[in-house]
Structures are given as structure tokens and as C-alpha cells.
Amino acid sequence: MAGCTISPLAFTMAMEIMIRASKWVVGGERLQGNQRLPPIQVYMDDLTTLTTTVPCTKRLLEKLHQNITWARMKLKPSKCRSISIVKGQVTDQRFHVGGIPVPTVSEMPVKSLRRWYVKLKDTEQFEQLKNDISKYMERISKTVLPGKLKVWCFQFGILPRLLWPLTVYEITKVEKLERLISTQLKQWLGIPRCLSSIGLYGHGKLELPITGLVEELKCTKARLLMTLTESEDAVTQTLTPRVVAGRTWIPSEAVESAKSALHFKDVVGQYSMGGQGSGSFLKLLCGTEQHQCRRDS
């Protein structure tokens, strides 16, 4: 039986009322262009507060606690986490909700969007991600599947799961992981170890139906940059976050080069191919496509 469709709407409306009744007590972080971030960000029943001073955080938490208690709901401080950063350093600042202390990220790490938040450094996170990739490859190797099906499992099962955690890293770090993956792929396919990455992931007449980790990450970063630059949100348009990929490859230059190539195709227009006449296939111009279609192009 299908669930009630009114309950999620009623819950969302109730959460919106509590958020609007709480966020007015403090102001969000001020950005360039006289823009302010909202002090409360919400996704369903998950709330994230972001303020600039300790007194503002205390007032905001107190107001949230009052409104949620008024709505006959309850906050669980044991499931919450707090982090206080002063001049780039993590401080041991304590916050309380209803007299109960909220654990800090250093005391009780939290996992969100497949990423553990413990410290400001990513050294341990990258090593953990490297170990996870080794475990994934080992699990696939222990199966009784033939080599080409093992490669299929990695291409469509493991590779999409790695793109999001690797978005924050530079290309040079991802190249180390790609070498680890390439060694295992060559073993599954029975290819000599001396074969270069160009022969394994290159596009040509004898290309294999697999893509490299670095290539997929470049596409992901370029798509992310397009999403930010063409966002309809006023704050994102005013101050677009910078997508960093290292010194060897710059996402902004790659996106501009791709846009120039698509614009050149629009200028050339449609032309006949083979024995088919001009206009046999309908082709949309890049300038008339929607934002999502341009990102996919």
C-alpha cells in the first residue's frame, strides 16, 4: 500500500514554520556583493546552523529549542555535532541544547555524504578512501565471474560511488588512485602490465568500453562548475565558489574551451553527411538548450 502523501507535506510545512520563526534572531555570514548566507539550512529533518560568533550560535540554538519544543518535538543533542573555527584553528567551544552539551566533531566524528568529518586535514580521509578502493577491488576479485564481468562491476558499480568523495581532491592525488585501479583492471583483462594508460583508456579504433578515474573526475568537476556558474540562486550567482583541480588541469579553462567548440558548431550549422541531404537530422543549437543539456554536452 502506498504511504500517506499528506504527511510529508505537513511535516515540511511545519519545519518551514519553525525555521522562519527562528532564523530572524541572528544574521548569517556576510559575503561579497552585500549578500548573506541563511543562518539555518535544512534538508527534511536535518538542520545545519552557520553563524559568525559564539553568542549568535547560542541565541539561535535557544530559539530553535523553544520552537521545536512548542511544536511538541524534541531535539537530541547526542545525535548533533558542533565545530568552532577561530582564525583557521579548531577550538574546544561547547554548545548546549536544553542544558545538554552537544558533542564536538573531534570527540565524536560524524559521517555525512559518504565523508567522515574529524579534522580539518584530509590526510587520513584520503588514506581511508584508498583503503576502501582496495577492499572494493579485492571483493570483486574473489568472485567467480570472468574478467570482463569484473571490469563491468567496477565500471558501473564502484566508479560512480568514487566520484563524489573525490570531488574535493586535486588531479595529482586522483592519478595515484587510478594507477592502483589500472593494475587490477589489466589483471582482470589479461593485459600486459606494461600497457600504458593511453592504451587502456584512450579513444581510438581499438578503444575499450571503460573510462579512467581521472577522466570521469574531470567531467564531474566541469559539470559542477557549470552548475555553479549557471545557477539561478542569487547568492551563488554573486559569489561562485572556485572549483580547484590542481595545476595540471584547470576546470574553468576546460569549460571555456568546450563552450567555444560548441559555439563553433552552432556557427557552422547543419551539413550533409554521406548520401543524406542537409537537414535530415534535427540538431539543437547550444545557445537554445536548457542548462542541464548544456552541461551534458
Considering the domain architecture, whether residues 263 and 129 belong to the same structural domain is answered as: yes
Residue 55 belongs to a domain? yes
Query: In the prediction, which pLDDT does 285 show?
Result: 61
Same domain (yes/no): 90, 208: no
Give a yes or no: residue 3 inside a domain.
Answer: no
pTM, rounded to two decimals: 0.71
Does residue 30 sit within a domain? yes
How many structural domains is the chain composed of? Answer: 2
Of 87, 115, 143, the residue that ends a domain is: 115
Domain for residue 280, yes or no? Answer: no
Residue 7 lies in a domain: no
Residue 25 lies in a domain: yes
CB atoms within 10 A of CB 214: 19
Residues 149 and 260 in one domain: yes
58: in domain: yes
Q: In this predicted structure, what is the pLDDT of residue 93?
A: 86
Domain that holds residue 229: 121-269
Q: What is the pLDDT of residue 1?
A: 39
Domain boundary among 58, 91, 115: 115
125 and 111, same structural domain?
no
Mean pLDDT by 10 residues, the chain (297 residues): 66 83 82 76 80 88 88 84 83 86 85 73 81 91 90 90 85 88 90 85 82 88 84 73 80 86 78 64 60 57
Q: Are residues 35 and 85 in the same domain?
A: yes
**Same domain flag for 28 and 145:** no
Residues 95 and 161 in one domain: no
- The last residue of one of the domains, among 69, 86, 115, is 115
